[in-house]
Amino acid sequence: MSSKVLGMGGSTVGIIEPTARDGGMGFIAKATRHLFFTGKGGVGKTSLSTAAALMLADAGRKVLLVSTDAASNLDEMLGIVLRNTPVPGAPGLSVLNIDPDSAAESYRQRVLAQMGSGASAQELSTVREQLSGACTTEIASFDEFAALLADGAKPWDHIVFDTAPTGHTLRLLSLPKAWVGFLGGNDRGASCLGPHSGLQMQEERFKAALDALADPARTTVVLVTRPERGAIAEAARTSVELRALGLSNQRLAINGVFHASDRSDAVACAIEDLGQQALDALPASLRELPQDRVPLRAFDTVGLTALRALLVPDAAPPFLRTDQQPTQNHPLPGLAALADELAAAGHGLIMVMGKGGVGKTTIAAALAIGLVQRGQTVHLSTTDPAAHLAGTLVGDLPGLKVSRIDPKVETQRYIDKIMAAKSPLLDAQEQALLLEDLQSPCTEEVAVFHAFSRIVSEGRSAFVVLDTAPTGHSMLLMDATGAYHRQMTREFEGRGPAHVVTPLMRLQDGAYTKIILVTLPEVTPVSQAAALQDDLRRARIEPYAWVLNKSVLAAGTHDPLLQARLAGERRQIERMSAGLAQRLYALPWLAVPPIGLGELSKLVSQPEIHAVADAAE
């Protein structure tokens, strides 16, 4: 399997009774063989899934922890380098990162091998090119995912899945049903993937994976949320969509529940009250689910000690640095200053990127409003399958066009376009075969790329602000952009002076495209933003600026738990200021959520300078 795997230990199968050791967490006490942790980006899926896997392993189980997120940070979470060795200090626990690039290459090699020794070099080259896009990456990763669900002989008592943010996970969990349906009606051995006899051979595996997902005795979905309205609303939508896919065994885990220790602390009280209001408004569909609550911790959940403490109320916390005090103010400009700089270009593409849950939609919407305020025409759109810009804007603004790249709508539009272009040249049987091929789940990835390319080109005459999907999904879209660029370059090679401008070339043009990386002042979001920046630079795309969202340093609080967390925030600001970010802007934590045109306008209307403190040496 083209993945990184760490060692395992031994155990027996059985139910773990709720105890103080597991904090009474139902998703531990009633753990089925497959545990999926899913939810909006930034709610703590990786922390909870890793802590759960570790706790099950500590109870003597053989546990495989799997990341289906292309932007996984399991290695940093566990505090180790992922190698083919046991996890130090965690006997019984193994970790697998499904590496999309490695999975895709392994899949390509299997398909090419099936062509036999009689295939010519030209035929092999053609098929390899057919298998070079993001669609192949997706199906290859899915193939490994399906194998874990379908192969009952694997020696694991539990397989814990740390999933990508909601939109990508819903896509992944829908694929078993989609591919079973497609393969059941397609016996011709060719599709948008080129020869897919390999997929035909895996049809039984896909069916077994579908059965495993739908079996409540084998699979549990843990919907992870925070006590925030947006995260809860997404959990409710996800619950409904998963039920439609047949995944009915669900639990709700509310992470980061905070209680102020001193009601005279206005900041601490505001944080607690906002959380309680969100929980009081919990939708009926979520109230019906078994529920676990995990309190907000004073420490970053990095390393085995911290992860073991996360789910155990009375566990001794990991060592915390308490000697860091602010020594001098390090002023950071606000979003208004960033909007001023962006508006000066007059037109172009602004892509807001980052880990799920860091506030990309808020930042993108605020910058779009700021550009309109400065006399610009703006198209605000999103590539995130789970994004709902309308719920953030709550209103219309002259000069601002708002859209969403809806995968289903774009897929049908693409199918209609291809059928209209090719049908006149085909007879009825050939038209039926073409339409059948276009029903492949891969068509969605191609259609979304074409819609993305269309919107990117609008930056030639106006501003386009793109709220992108969380990091992993966005990088798959970048892969498709790169594959298209390579294809166009080959096709026009040697054709004289004809000049082709591909979407990738526009992204690489710093005068045309400004990449804004959004992060939170926490170790995992900052590390993932840094990794994303490295990936972009390898594609010769240079980020323009970083935005630090939800900074609590300037708010002023004496709550002991929040004070402990602020020490970590100072360290992350120091990391970014020391060279990670060419330009760094800050948005403070806000007592009033920035929802609606009025609140969003405030973020870009005044040239605020947010004073955040450097950490002491």
Residue numbers annotated as active site: 42, 44-47, 69, 524
Residue 242, both tokens = 């998963």
| 555 backbone φψ class: left, alpha, beta (φ>0; ψ -120 to 50) | alpha
Pairing of strands 190-191, 194-195: antiparallel
Q: Say which residues have a Cβ less than 8 Å from residue 228's Cβ, sequence separation at least 6.
A: 274, 275, 278
Which residue in the block uniquely carries the two structure tokens 């947010």? 610
Q: In sequence order, what are the residues at sequence separation of 6 or more whose Cβ sits closer than 8 angstroms to the Cβ of residue 133?
A: 445, 446, 479, 480, 483, 484
Nearest CA-CA partner of 562 in 278, 255, 296: 296
Which pair of structure tokens corresponds to residue 225? 């949320």
Q: Which of 173, 131, 171, 130 has the alpha carbon at shortest distance from 34?
A: 173
Taking the alpha carbons at both ends of the chain, their separation in whole angstroms is 45
CB 514 within 8 A of CB 342: yes
Q: Tokens 């994976």, residue?
A: 209
**For residues 378 and 403, what is the distance between their CA atoms, to the nearest angstrom?**
11
> Three-state SS for 383?
coil
Residue 371: other Cβ atoms inside 10 A: 25
How far is 435 from 366, CA to CA, in rounded Å?
42
Contacts of 63 (CB under 8 A, 6+ apart): 8, 53, 56, 57, 92, 93, 94, 156, 157, 158, 159, 160
Cα-based angle 226, 228, 230 (whole degrees, multiple of 5): 110
Closest CA to 477 of 410, 395, 419: 410
Q: Which residues contact 479 (CB under 8 A, 6 or more apart)?
A: 133, 134, 137
CA 310 to chain centre: 22
Buried b (16+ CB within 10 A) or exposed e, 326-358: eeeebebbbbbbbbeebbeeeebbbbbbbbbbb
Listed in order, strand segments (DSSP E) in 278-414 are 291-295, 329-333, 348-353, 378-382, 400-402
The candidate with the shortest Cα–Cα distance to 465, out of 554, 375, 551, 401, is 401
The 10 Å CB-count burial string (b at 16+, else e) for 30-46 is bbbbbbbbbbbbbbbbb
